[in-house]
Amino acid sequence: MAKNSSDAAFTGLEAAIVLIAFVVVAAVFAYVILGAGFFTTQKAQETVYKSVEQSTTNLQLIGNVYGLASDPSSGIDEIKFSIGLAPGAQAVDLTKLKIAFSTPATTPIILPLGDNATLTTFTAKDAGVGSSLNSMTPDQQIEIDFMVTPIPKNTQVTLEIRPAVGAALPFSKTTPATITNTSVLS
């Protein structure tokens, strides 16, 4: 009997060790599963914040859109307007900004930032200073300027400002019935 009772005690010790091993393995497994869950939750939260950032526009049109005409009888050949950032918006890289321009008689033209206002590029200058810029901060007002093929009177002009991040800012204006050297598009 003595041998039988010592074997029973040894089996109990083995069972306790196996039970402890199962508890340790289960604890490690639970830790790994919780870690993966927290990681997934964090990535989902980042995705939500990025999608909100992508879907909202940070740009605002400030003031009027002006059409300039070197020869008013030919039509408007230059467009100027000012933009700014919405309160709380992040800085915008103007080198990645694009402007889409069209009229009913023309196909849309995509204008990138350039050194000079031309038919194929726009300029961005600090409205207060007049110096060229490559980025826009929340406290700045930027003057956009570009040339166009002469636009006659009473013509709708469609513009869309497309930042690299965030939603585009589309707007339409109409040239006035009487074009002067400096006309406000309504």
- Domain spans of the chain, in order of start: 1-55, 59-185
Q: 140 Cβ partners below 8 Å, 6+ apart?
A: 84, 85, 126, 127, 133
Class of domain 59-185 as given by CATH? mainly beta
Q: The tokens of 59 are what?
A: 């740009």
Type of residue found at 126: D
Spatial contact of 75 and 150, defined as CB atoms under 8 Å apart = yes
DSSP string, 116-129: S--SS-EEEEETTT
For the chain of 186 residues, list the mean pLDDT of each consecutive stretch of 10.
55 80 87 84 74 63 87 88 80 84 87 81 79 78 87 89 81 87 85
Q: What is the pTM of this model?
A: 0.64
- pLDDT of 1: 46
| E strand spans, 74-140 | 76-85, 92-93, 98-102, 109-112, 122-126, 135-136
